Amino acid sequence: MTRSYRVGIDVGGTFTDFVLIDSAGERLETWKEPSTPADPARSVVDGFAQLLRHAKLKAADIDVVVHGTTLGLNAILQERGGRVGLVISRGFGDIMVIGRGGLPNSHNYKDPKRQPLVQRRHVYEIPARLRVDGSVLEEPSEADFDQVAAAARADNLQALAVLVINSYSHPEMEEAVAGALTKRLPEVRVMASAALWPEVREFERALVAVLNGYIHPMMDDYYAALDRALSAMGLGGRLEIATSNGGTVGVETARRRPIDTLLSGPAAGVSAGTRLAADAGITHAISVDMGGTSSDMSITHDGEPEFTTETRIGVYPVIIPAINVWTIGAGGGSVLWADPQGLLKVGPRSAGADPGPACYGRGGSEPTITDCYLVLGYLDPEHFLGGRMALDRNAAVTALARLGETIGIDGGEQVAEAAIRIATAKMSTEVTKGMAQRGYDLADFTLLPYGGAGPTQAALLAEETRLTRILVPPSPGTFCAFGAVTGGLRRDFARSRRATLNADPDAGRVFAEALESLEAEAAAWTAEEGGPAGQAEIAIFADMQYPKTAVELTIAVPTEIAKRADPPELAELFHREHERLYGFRDAASPVYFTTLRVTARLPAPSLKLPPRSANGSVAPAGRRRVIWHGAPIEAEVFTADSLPAGAELSGPAIVEMIDSTVLVPPGWSLGCDAIGSMHLTRKD
C-alpha cells in the first residue's frame, strides 16, 4: 500500500501549530512556529517548510493539507473587516440598528449601543417584497439596480449582502436581485442571504450575510494567497479548510463561505478530543484548550460533542451550526495587571506572539501566566519548545516583582502564585457554571486539557472543580492541528418551513419536501467536493416547539422516521425530548415544526497514532524545585518520550514534552497508555 501523508495547520494568536501524520499510523511529526499577526500566511508557509525539513519530506509527498484559523473571528471581534453594504426590502433599512431591540447592558440604560458593522448610509432599500406565501408584493426595476450599483461603486464597497423579506422559503427574487447586482458590480462580492443560510428570522439571516461579506475580502485574499504559496512550494495535494462544525470543506467552498470557518480551530480540537476520549472508553469529557490568548471550553456527553445552532461572536448572534465552545480570556499569554483599586487581575488582554511574555525576551515587560509558570518552577527555561527557545527567568521575576510593588505583594513567586489562583478560579467558575446550566454532574466527567498551557494548568483546575480524572492527549500543544487533519468533509444545510405537526393536514408533505430539497443540496455539495456519490452520511434534525413558548428544541430525527414523515411520530420525538429536559410533556398541545436541518458528512480518514514502545524504564531525568500551595517541594522531572506504554508514576512530578508540560501534583498519579496519552488520577 502506498503511504500517504496529511498535514494539519492551526493558526493561533501566539503560535502556529503543525501536525504531520501518515496513513500507516507509524509517523506523527509536530512543529510550532511563532505566529506573525501582521502577515499570518508567513508563519504558515515558514512553519510548513520547517515541518517538511524536520520530517525529511517534500511538499509533493503531502496528499492533503487541512488549515484551521481564527482570522475571520478575530477580524469581527476587532472590527477590522472589509467595507460591506446591505441591500434590503424597502421599509427594513434599520434592521441592523434595531436588531432584537435589546439593551447592551440591562443594568445601565445609558450604556450606548454598539455601532453596526454596516453604516446606515451603506444600507440600500429597494422595492423588493414577498408575502409569506411567496407572491410578489413589490418588484424592483432595472433603474433600482442601477441606482444601488452606482451608490455601492461611489462608496467603494467590497461586498454586498442582499435580503428580501420571506426569502428564506421563496429565494427566487433574492437570487434575481443578487444576480442583477453582480452583473453591474463584477468587482464586488454579492451574497444572497437565503443562498448562504435560508433560516427564518430576518435579522439573524441578514447578520450572517453581512458578516460573511465583512470578512470575505480578507479571507478570500488569504486563502487564495495560501493556495498559491503552497502550490509554489510543490504541493500537489488538496487544500482543505477546517470549519466550525468540526469538519472540513474544500478551499473554494471556504472562499465563498468564510462564515463557516469562524470557530474552526477550537472546533477541530473538540472533535479530536471526542474521538480520543472514546478510544479510551470515556464518554463524558470537558475539553479545555488553553493556548496563548484564551481558554476554549466545550463538553462531550454520551460520546458526542455538544452542538449549537446559534452562537455569539462578540455581541453578534450567529445562527450557523457549530460545536458549542465558550471562551474566557485566560491563556498562557494573558497579561497580569492591577485595577484602580489595587486588585490583581488576569486577562483578558494577551501579550500575543509579539512581544509576548516577559520571559520570551522580545521586549515584553508585562508579566503573564507563562511568566508565572516559569517562576513557580513548572517550566524549564532551557527546554521550552524542546530547547528551541530559551526563556529568561530573571525577566519574568522582575516583571512580576514590579507588579507586586503596585498591589502590595513582595516577591515574584508570591505574585505568580496569586495570579495562578485567580486564573484557576476564573476557569473553574466557567466550568461549573456551564455544567450547572446543562444539569450535568461534574463527577461523571473527565478533564481533557490541550493547547500549550492546558496540561500545565489541568491539575490546578481539576483540584478547584473537584474533578478526579484527567486525560492528556499526545502532543497536546498541537492538538487542534491534529483535529483538523483527522476531520472529514462535512457541511450543514437548513430549510425553514412552518407547519403544525398534529393539526396541519399538509405537515407531512411540507416536511418531506423540505427533506428532499436538502438532500439534493447536500448531494450537489458532495459532488462538488469530489466525494463518491451516495457515500455521504446524512444526519437529520428538526427544530420544534410548543406554541407561545420561547423554548425551541433541535431534535435528532432517525432516518427511517424522517423518510416516513409521519406528523404524530415526529411530534412524539419532541414530546419525549421535552419531557427528558423539563420533566413534563403536554400531549394535548400542538407541536410546531419550524426548521429542518441536514448534516452531510463524508467518511473521515482512518488515521491511527503511532504506538508507544513498551520498552524502557520509568526513571526521572532530574529534580526541580516547584512552588505548590505556597511551599517549595521537590518534583521529579520526566521526559514524555522516555515513558514507555504502561508507565506509572506518582506526584509531585513534571513530564516535559516538546510542545507542553504536564504538572502532576502531590496526591495524583499518572499512567501512560499505548499511544502516549497520559491518564492522571487523584489518589484520594
**Residues 162 and 242 occupy one common structural domain:** no
Kindly state whether residue 452 falls inside one of the protein's structural domains: no
Q: What are phi and psi of 90, to 5 degrees?
A: -60, 135
User: Under DSSP, is residue 95 helix (H, G, I), strand (E, B) or coil?
Assistant: helix
Kindly state whether residue 544 falls inside one of the protein's structural domains: yes
pLDDT for the residue numbered 534: 65
**Residues 60 and 126 occupy one common structural domain:** no
CA dihedral 401, 406, 410, 413 (to 10 degrees): -40
**Residues 86 and 209 occupy one common structural domain:** yes
pLDDT for the residue numbered 533: 60
DSSP state of 482: H
Question: Helices 412-438 and 393-407 sit at what angle, rounded to 10 degrees?
Answer: 80
pLDDT for the residue numbered 420: 95
Tell me how many domains the chain contains. Answer: 4
Boundary-marking domain end, from 572, 601, 630: 601
Kindly state whether residue 63 falls inside one of the protein's structural domains: yes
At 190, the amino acid letter reads V
DSSP 332-347: TTEEEEE-TT--EEEE
**Residues 529 and 585 occupy one common structural domain:** yes
**Residues 207 and 230 occupy one common structural domain:** no
Kindly state whether residue 347 falls inside one of the protein's structural domains: no
Task: Please state, in angstroms and rounded to a whole number, the distance separating the CA atoms of residues 595 and 199.
Answer: 7
Residue with cell 481564527: 70
Kindly state whether residue 352 falls inside one of the protein's structural domains: no
pLDDT for the residue numbered 108: 78
**Residues of the chain falling short of pLDDT 70:** 1-3, 532-534, 607, 616
CATH of the domain at 42: 3.30.420.40
Task: Please state, in angstroms and rounded to a whole number, the distance separating the CA atoms of residues 629 and 456.
Answer: 15
647 lies in which domain range? 622-682
Kindly state whether residue 383 falls inside one of the protein's structural domains: no
**Residues 47 and 84 occupy one common structural domain:** no
Tell me if 545 sits within 8 A of 551, measured CB to CB: yes
pLDDT for the residue numbered 1: 44
**Residues 197 and 103 occupy one common structural domain:** yes
CATH of the domain at 204: 3.40.50
**Residues 91 and 41 occupy one common structural domain:** no
Tell me if 194 sits within 8 A of 158, measured CB to CB: no
> What sign does the CA torsion over 76, 79, 83, 88 have?
positive
Task: Please state, in angstroms and rounded to a whole number, the distance separating the CA atoms of residues 451 and 247.
Answer: 19
Tell me if 193 sits within 8 A of 208, measured CB to CB: yes
Kindly state whether residue 664 falls inside one of the protein's structural domains: yes
Question: Helices 567-582 and 507-528 sit at what angle, rounded to 10 degrees?
Answer: 80
**Residues 235 and 200 occupy one common structural domain:** no
CATH of the domain at 539: 3.30.1490
**Residues 122 and 149 occupy one common structural domain:** yes
Tell me if 575 sits within 8 A of 591, measured CB to CB: yes
**Residues 62 and 133 occupy one common structural domain:** no
**Residues 204 and 94 occupy one common structural domain:** yes
Kindly state whether residue 43 falls inside one of the protein's structural domains: yes
Give the tens place of pLDDT for each residue, 113-152.
777 889 899 999 999 999 988 899 999 999 999 999 999 9
CB atoms within 10 A of CB 528: 12
